[in-house]
Amino acid sequence: LVEAIAAAALSRLPGLAPEALATIAWSFSELRLLHEPWFVQAADEAMSRISEFAQEELRMLLWALPHVEEMGLSTGLRLLEKAEAARCPLSASCLSSLLAACEERGLVESQVSLLRRLQRTASPEASPLLGLAAEAV
């Protein structure tokens, strides 16, 4: 059943509106329909049109990707880099799922890098605390 659902969704990926792509990724992840080929193509599609994605759509994708075991976290980090390079607006909630995935997997360097990114997006009051957290990790 997962294969059939993913195959149907895969054929519709090119040109799919960012909101629809993000919603499907979030839904698949929430339902644990973690079909890696679909997520790979969805991430590639998002990266090729990154400037079309609103902050909420990026947040949904960045939340969904780390749930896909083999490629999810690294793809999520690449998507984040692409979004930052395109100067897409990113909030702290965009980074939270990636940060949690790095912590769960013991990826300290990636965790520190994300905390520093979070520090740049944080309010002036929270920024020093995040810097201390990054140093403590």
Instruction: Tell me the H-state helices in the chain.
Output: 2-11, 18-30, 36-48, 55-64, 72-85, 92-105, 108-121, 127-136
Whether the pLDDT of residue 56 is over 90: the answer is yes
Give 48's contacts (C-beta < 8 A, 6+ positions apart). Answer: none
Q: What angle do CA 16, 18, 24 make, to 5 degrees?
A: 75
At residue 23 the predicted structure's pLDDT band, cuts being 50, 70 and 90, is very high
Over residues 94-135, the pLDDT tens digits come to: 888 888 888 888 888 888 888 888 777 655 555 455 455 555
Please tell me the predicted confidence (pLDDT) of residue 57.
Answer: 94
pTM of this prediction? 0.77
Looking at per-residue pLDDT, the higher value among 43 and 10 belongs to 43
